[in-house]
């Protein structure tokens, strides 16, 4: 099986697996305990915090471990909203292509009386800095813009937005779940006030993540209880997962430059090969995209059947079609970049990684071309396109 | 697995795929916007469906339900085919996930639309309420839940 769904999750790397075992074998004490096993666990926790902080240019004291990216997003946004409301600021800005962890949190706040601005993106999925500037008001409590998109891989102008928000005095959060461990990040230089990350997107374990919060920025707990994480995230720390995440992140950051050269060469080759399929279009920006992200729409077919047949051919991929999500509408991201519904249903995401090879790319491209042709042959939509009864959306 | 073995079998090896050039009845239901369209072709002799073919744009269960529907009506009398229910298609496939039931409704409606076309072409009288208006329940579902 060729695994090309690394944006969904990654396999824990050997360093992460070993660190997790250590977390259970050696550092099984409770970091809150005063005895030696507890204190050893506490030291391991502190080392992990330093590792995670270093990977994004932060201070260890600004890292809060969470259960994952979703919790980090929820806590960041809820905290900014709460402190904003105290100052009479109940306006939040985000984008139309955020992960649901951000969008649904915003929707909930909207029901609670907050005013939400959803910024549009251009055809390649990029948010315009001018649009952020124009949306900021006197009562804006937060700007939240994702670092890189999980579906189409587009990288946002985070440093520019960070500088703008700092100048305007508005807190800036970024959901960097897809970016951390894959792109160089420096929260200080990029003026990021809050950043969410998730362990299993860079070969660490799932069920663990972190929220970076710049010192001085307000944070409130979502989970109340013990004094863990400086009283801002109760619950005995999931140390095996935290250690696994730190080990994976250290490994990812250490080899980031070489990994990116390699993975982006795989990506570019795959994009080139899939572009040869007629009436296929790349989703997202050609240049400003995650090293491993390949996202396409194929006209005249539906994504779920494409995925299932690719799976039969030994390729594990993903799609933004409605059918794969269990919802009735296709991906909000593909709709936001202007893909009509019928084309958005025919989307395919292949997310490559350092474990993939050029042979994988060859096989993926061949399997995709075969499956697309097969499905088009039985598609009444494709037939009517070919007969000229309807016009192609993708030329 | 999301799907039963029967569904996967009909998805992987769909029966009766294609078109019938001189079909006696053709029905197309669904909407590309919703992500599934089914087109059904019938060849009818002496009131018997002697051949049936389908083309489908849609997910795994859309293809599987189309395939199963063609199997269930092939060789049957037209009035028998008209009584095919989506539930019969679901049962023949050993079940479908709840959010895929609309695919079986679409398959039933594709068969009915093709029969209606046959009736229309041959001047055979029928009660209009026997047939749906052409916009499928799938699409109504979308209208209600669309965001």
Read off the pLDDT of residues A81-123 as tens digits, 9 standing for 90 and up. 999 999 999 999 999 999 999 999 999 999 999 999 999 999 9
Q: How is residue B127 written in tokens? A: 């009660």
Q: Which residues of B touch A381 (CB under 8 A)?
A: 32, 37, 57
A31 shares a domain with A155: yes
Q: For residues A146, A180, A205 and A352, what is the CA-based torsion angle, rounded to 10 degrees? A: 90
Nearest to B35 among A309, A330, A383 (CB): A330
| Cα dihedral A160, A178, A372, A369 sign | positive
CA–CA dist B147, B145 (Å, integer):
6
**Nearest chain A Cα distance for residue B59, angstroms:** 5
Domain boundary among A208, A224, A254: A254
Task: Please tell me whether residues A31 and A62 are part of one structural domain.
Answer: yes
Please give the tally of structural domains in chain A: 2
Q: What residue numbers bound the domain in which A138 lies?
A: 14-254
Q: Does residue A226 sit in the same domain as residue A98?
A: yes
Which chain A residue has its CA at the smallest distance from B29's CA? A380
Q: Does A243 share its domain with A329?
A: no
User: Domain of B16: which CATH number?
Assistant: 3.90.1010.10
Do both A339 and A196 map to the same domain?
no
Residue A392 placed within a domain: no
Which residue bears the tokens 């594709």? B110
Read off the CATH number of the domain in which A148 is found: 3.40.640.10
Whether B145 and A328 lie within 8 Å, measured CB to CB: yes
B59 touches chain A (CB under 8 A): yes
Note whether B145 contacts A: Cβ–Cβ < 8 A. yes
Residues of A in contact with B61 (CB under 8 A): 323
pLDDT at B144: 34
Residue A96, Cβ neighbours under 10 Å: how many? 16
Structural domain includes residue A395: no
Domain that holds residue B55: 5-145
pTM of the model: 0.94
What whole-number percentage of chain A has pLDDT above 90?
96
CATH number for position A304: 3.90.1150.10
Domain end: A254, A283, A316, which one?
A: A254
Closest A-chain CA to B18: A378
- Chain B: residue whose CA lies nearest to A304: B59
Q: What residues 91-120 of chain B have any CB closer than 8 A to a CB of chain A?
A: 99-100
Regarding whether A240 and A263 lie in a shared domain, the answer is no
- A54 is a domain residue: yes
Is A269 found in the same domain as A243? Answer: no
CA proximity to A146, closest of A161, A166, A136: A161
The reply to whether A60 falls in a domain is: yes
* A229 and A143 co-located in one domain: yes
User: Of the residues A228, A254, A280, which one is the last residue of a structural domain?
Assistant: A254
Q: What digits encode the pLDDT tens for the residues B117-145?
A: 999 999 999 888 777 655 544 444 443 33
Is A165 tagged catalytic? Answer: no
Count up the domains in chain B and report the number. Answer: 1
| Residues A87 and A229 reside in one and the same domain | yes
pLDDT of residue A325: 60
Q: Are residues A99 and A246 in the same domain?
A: yes
Residue A219 lies in a domain: yes
Segment A297-325 shows an average pLDDT of: 90
CA distance B32 to chain A (A): 5
Mean pLDDT across B10-17: 97
Reported ipTM: 0.90
Contact A329 B36 (CB under 8 A): no
The reply to whether A170 and A266 lie within a common domain is no
Q: Are B58 and B30 in contact (CB under 8 A)?
A: yes
Chain A: closest CA distance from residue B49 (Å) = 21
């Amino acid at each position: 099986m060729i695994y090309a769904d690394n944006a969904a999750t990654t396999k824990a790397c050997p360093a992460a697996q070993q660190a997790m075992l250590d977390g259970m074998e050696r550092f099984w004490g409770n970091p809150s305990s005063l005895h030696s096993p507890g204190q050893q666990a506490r030291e391991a926790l502190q080392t992990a915090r330093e590792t995670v902080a270093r990977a994004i240019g932060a201070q260890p004291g600004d890292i809060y471990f969470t259960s994952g990216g979703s919790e980090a997003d929820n806590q960041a946004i809820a905290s900014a909203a709460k402190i904003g409301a105290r100052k009479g600021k109940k306006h939040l800005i985000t984008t139309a292509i955020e992960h649901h962890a951000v969008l649904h949190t915003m929707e909930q706040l909207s029901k609670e009386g907050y005013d939400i601005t959803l910024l549009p993106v251009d055809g390649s999925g990029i948010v315009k800095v001018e649009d952020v500037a124009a949306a900021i008001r006197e009562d804006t409590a937060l700007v939240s813009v994702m670092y890189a998109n999980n579906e189409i891989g587009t990288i946002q102008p985070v440093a520019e937005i960070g500088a703008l928000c700092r100048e305007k005095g508005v807190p800036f959060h970024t959901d960097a779940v897809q970016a951390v461990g894959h792109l160089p990040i420096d929260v200080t230089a990029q003026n990021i006030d809050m950043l969410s990350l998730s362990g299993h997107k860079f070969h660490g374990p799932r069920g663990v993540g972190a929220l970076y919060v710049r010192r001085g920025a307000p944070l409130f707990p979502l989970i109340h209880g013990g004094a863990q994480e400086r009283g801002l995230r109760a619950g005995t720390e999931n140390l095996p997962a935290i250690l696994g995440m730190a080990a994976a992140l250290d490994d990812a950051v250490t080899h980031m430059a070489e990994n990116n050269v390699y993975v982006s060469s795989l990506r570019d080759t795959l994009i080139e090969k899939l572009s040869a399929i007629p009436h296929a279009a790349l989703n997202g920006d050609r240049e400003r995209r995650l090293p491993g992200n390949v996202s396409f729409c194929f006209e005249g077919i539906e994504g779920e059947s494409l995925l299932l047949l690719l799976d039969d051919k030994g390729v594990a991929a993903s799609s933004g079609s409605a059918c794969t999500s269990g919802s009735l509408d296709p991906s909000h991201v593909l709709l936001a970049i202007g893909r009509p519904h019928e084309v958005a249903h025919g989307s395919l995401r292949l997310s490559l990684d350092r474990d993939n090879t050029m042979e994988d790319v060859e096989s993926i491209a061949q399997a995709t071309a075969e499956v697309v042709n097969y499905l088009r042959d039985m598609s009444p939509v494709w037939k009517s396109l070919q007969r000229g009864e309807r016009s192609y959306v993708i030329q | 697995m999301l799907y039963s073995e029967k569904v996967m079998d009909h998805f992987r090896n769909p029966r009766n795929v294609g078109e019938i050039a001189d079909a006696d009845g053709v029905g197309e239901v669904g909407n590309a916007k919703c992500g599934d369209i089914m087109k059904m072709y019938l060849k009818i002799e002496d009131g018997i469906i002697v051949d049936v073919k389908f083309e489908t744009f849609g997910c795994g269960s859309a293809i599987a339900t189309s395939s199963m529907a063609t199997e269930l009506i092939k060789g049957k009398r037209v009035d028998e085919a008209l009584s095919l229910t989506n539930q019969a298609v679901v049962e023949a496939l050993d079940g479908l996930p709840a959010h895929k039931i609309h695919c079986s409704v679409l398959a039933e409606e594709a068969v009915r639309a093709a029969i209606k076309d046959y009736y229309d072409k041959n001047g055979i009288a029928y009660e209009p309420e026997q047939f749906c208006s052409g916009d499928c329940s799938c699409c109504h579902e979308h209208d209600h839940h669309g965001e």
